[in-house]
Structure 1
Amino acid sequence: MAEYRILPPRSEKLLAGLFITGGIVLFAVVAPFLVQDPRFSGNDAFLPPSADHLLGTTKLGYDVLAQLAHGARGSLLVGLAAAAIAIALSLIFGIFAGYAGGWTDEVLTMVTNIMLVIPGLPLVMVIAVYAQSRSLWLVAFILGITGWAGSAVVLRSQARSLRSRDYVEASQVAGERTWRILLVEILPNLLPLLAAQFLFAVVFAILGEAGLSFIGLGPNGSITWGTMITEAYGGNAMSAGAWWWFVPPGLLIAVFGAGLSLVNFSIDEVVNPKLRVVAETGDRRRAPEAAAPAAAPVQPAEPKAEVTA
């Protein structure tokens, strides 16, 4: 009888993703305490990278490394806050709608479909225009309330599938409350999917904030990677050859997104059974004689003793 075993997903992606994201998060937490004031303009303008300024200075004499460190903190705050808001709304309009069914499901699904139809970027732009003062938290709120619909659709379909499971029906027959069934029986089975959706929302929020900042609708008075790119574009950094002003923030956005994507791919390998590697211990590529167990040596029969009368 053939034996099968499910091989664990490769961990190289997960380790690489955790190393990249962990390093950037550590940089955002520690580096702002080790650099100078990001708005200190006592330095010379457009200084190239040197021992005094590792990443050079901007047109106004700001230290690029100091701005990069504070910008990392600002971008991560926007990404995490927007992702938390998006996931919270996805839980309400996805899991609760899929489990409740009936008119509750229809109403919540209608709202979700409306948010899917409305273009995200124009909606974000309209909301940002009407906001007179845009802080980091307001930008995160705007990105969060406009980026949850796609996750809600995925979570709703999974919740509809889980509500027909035997253990959920047993909890309903036992008279368990709805909130306990959702938290104890359904939500734990969706944690890998929620983690993947959360990481995607973080990347979406950071890129969305960079896009808003580039068109002049980013946070006012705050430093993020997006505002750094915007200021570099407005300060003619490219024509001046000051690559050290706009390349580091753009590179960190790309690297951080790649790190989160690697972690997301690793989670997908756990969630999606089709991505798992199923191997047969008796592989056909092996030689039949190598796979077959060695035959036991034949013991010679012992001679029967003659019985004499």
Structure 2
Amino acid sequence: MRTEFLRSWKVRTGLGGILFFVLLAVLGPWLVDALLGVDPRANDTSAIAQPPSGEHLLGTNQFGEDVLAQTIAGARGSMFVGFLGAAVGTVMAILVGVPAGYFGGRVDAALNFVTNIFLVMPVLPLILIVAGYLQGTGLWVIALIIGLFGWSGGARTLRAQSLSLSGRDFVRAMQMLGERGHRLVFAEVLPHLTGIIASMFLHAMIGAVLAEAGLAFLGISDASAISWGTMIQSAQTQSAVLRGLWWWFIPPGLCIALIGTAAALVNFGVDELANPKLRTARRKTVRRTAAALEKTGSQA
């Protein structure tokens, strides 16, 4: 399974894209300082709203700030919110969904009650209200809010899968041997949910990046922080679209689209390997392709 996972071109391409943006987020400030020699917040009054040129590769915005430097620096803010929000949401989904499905009974009733409350809540309005009250508190709070309000759907999926696994023979055998419940949950049941959890994390990461961009676009974000969302919001307030300043809003939007595409490719690859029907169809396709190539080679 692990070998097939790494051989999938979708997985390799997707992981490569995600790794690129992770490295950009980690090394971004150094790249901006060492390669560009430009402060993302510096105002060049001699180059206001200038198109891409040799001096400013992606042009400048209305305030004379270098767009390329801001795009690189913004990767850290957006990826930080994406990973932290996804981590918080995924951990909460695991802690609520897996025990609920495995133990059943009163534990399931109590945890499922909490999950149902969060499922019926209007998540986006709640995020807007809470983020509005906590406006200006930084990307940490934005990421935590997104994670705390976005776990219920994943918990419901993990509950259903854990409920199915709890009746399997290997789990019953471990129960008969006297294995403790908490160890069965995290050592026997949880490893079988790795593919689902990985897909859930990637989906939550993209959702968190988009949510941060949406909150920033609506003006509910830390104005002092640099992220792709704050760049798009700044371009919107300065009417960059109407003025034809495409180099201001396209780079951050394109980065969000690319990270979403990379995560989707990994999800498709994981689904092909985790889903038995898709895995069987993929193996048949590989065998047919190999047989056709062998036949062509023998004829030549």
Q: Same fold (TM over 0.5)?
A: yes
> Given residue 273 of structure 1, which amino acid in structure 2 is its aligned partner?
P
* Match runs of 1:212-231 below 5 Å: 212-231=215-234
> Given residue 209 of structure 1, which amino acid in structure 2 is its aligned partner?
E
- Out of 137, 140, 152, the position equivalent to 1:137 is 140
The 2-side partners of 1:224 and 1:246 are apart by 12
The 2-side partners of 1:132 and 1:205 are apart by 17
Tell me, what secondary structure is at the counterpart of 2:219? coil
- Out of 269, 276, 284, the position equivalent to 1:279 is 284
Alignment of 1:41 with 2:48, yes or no, is: no
Shift of the alpha carbon at 1:271?
Answer: 1.2
> Given residue 192 of structure 1, which amino acid in structure 2 is its aligned partner?
G
Please name the residue that 1:14 is paired with: 11
Determine if contact 1:68/1:248 at 8 Å carries over to the other structure. Answer: yes
Q: Deviations over 1:214-254 (max 9, x none)?
A: 11112341111011000001112122221110000001101
- Out of 266, 270, 283, the position equivalent to 1:267 is 270
The 2-side partners of 1:27 and 1:136 are apart by 18
The 2-side partners of 1:280 and 1:34 are apart by 43
Query: Structure 1 residues 280, 227: closer, same or farther in 2, change over 3 A?
Result: closer
Please name the residue that 1:295 is paired with: none
- Out of 147, 163, 168, the position equivalent to 1:165 is 168
Shift of the alpha carbon at 1:32?
Answer: 2.1
Shift of the alpha carbon at 1:18?
Answer: 1.9
Gap runs ≥5 in structure 2:
33-37, 296-300
The 2-side partners of 1:26 and 1:13 are apart by 20
Shift of the alpha carbon at 1:83?
Answer: 0.4
Shift of the alpha carbon at 1:34?
Answer: 2.2
CA RMSD of aligned residues (A): 2.1
The TM-score normalised by the length of structure 2 is 0.88
Shift of the alpha carbon at 1:273?
Answer: 1.0
The TM-score normalised by the length of structure 1 is 0.85
Tell me, what secondary structure is at the counterpart of 1:111? helix
Please name the residue that 1:76 is paired with: 79
Q: Which has the larger radius of gyration?
A: 1
Shift of the alpha carbon at 1:159?
Answer: 0.5
Q: Deviations over 1:4-56 (max 9, x none)?
A: xxx95771211221222222222222232122211111342111111111111
Tell me the number of residue pairs that the alignment of Structure 1 and Structure 2 aligns. Answer: 279
> Given residue 225 of structure 1, which amino acid in structure 2 is its aligned partner?
W
Task: Indicate the larger mover: 110-119 or 35-44.
Answer: 35-44
Gap runs ≥5 in structure 1:
1-6, 291-309
The 1-side partners of 2:286 and 2:214 are apart by 51
Shift of the alpha carbon at 1:132?
Answer: 4.2
The 2-side partners of 1:219 and 1:270 are apart by 41
Task: Indicate the larger mover: 175-184 or 226-235.
Answer: 175-184
- Out of 243, 252, 264, the position equivalent to 2:255 is 252
> Given residue 46 of structure 1, which amino acid in structure 2 is its aligned partner?
A
Please name the residue that 2:20 is paired with: 23
The 1-side partners of 2:223 and 2:92 are apart by 26
Tell me, what secondary structure is at the counterpart of 2:150? coil
Shift of the alpha carbon at 1:66?
Answer: 1.0
The 2-side partners of 1:29 and 1:8 are apart by 29
> Given residue 253 of structure 1, which amino acid in structure 2 is its aligned partner?
I
Tell me, what secondary structure is at the counterpart of 1:279? helix
Determine if contact 2:56/2:68 at 8 Å carries over to the other structure. Answer: yes
Report sequence identity in percent. Answer: 46
Query: Structure 1 residues 166, 227: closer, same or farther in 2, change over 3 A?
Result: same
Query: Structure 1 residues 251, 281: closer, same or farther in 2, change over 3 A?
Result: closer
Tell me, what secondary structure is at the counterpart of 2:284? strand
The 2-side partners of 1:101 and 1:223 are apart by 45
- Out of 26, 29, 33, the position equivalent to 1:32 is 29
Please name the residue that 1:305 is paired with: none
Determine if contact 1:134/1:220 at 8 Å carries over to the other structure. Answer: no
Q: Deviations over 1:181-215 (max 9, x none)?
A: 11211111111111010000000000011111111
Determine if contact 2:28/2:75 at 8 Å carries over to the other structure. Answer: no
- Out of 48, 57, 65, the position equivalent to 1:62 is 65
Query: Structure 1 residues 282, 191: closer, same or farther in 2, change over 3 A?
Result: closer
> Given residue 31 of structure 1, which amino acid in structure 2 is its aligned partner?
G
> Given residue 26 of structure 1, which amino acid in structure 2 is its aligned partner?
L
Alignment of 1:124 with 2:121, yes or no, is: no
Tell me, what secondary structure is at the counterpart of 1:217? coil
Shift of the alpha carbon at 1:281?
Answer: 11
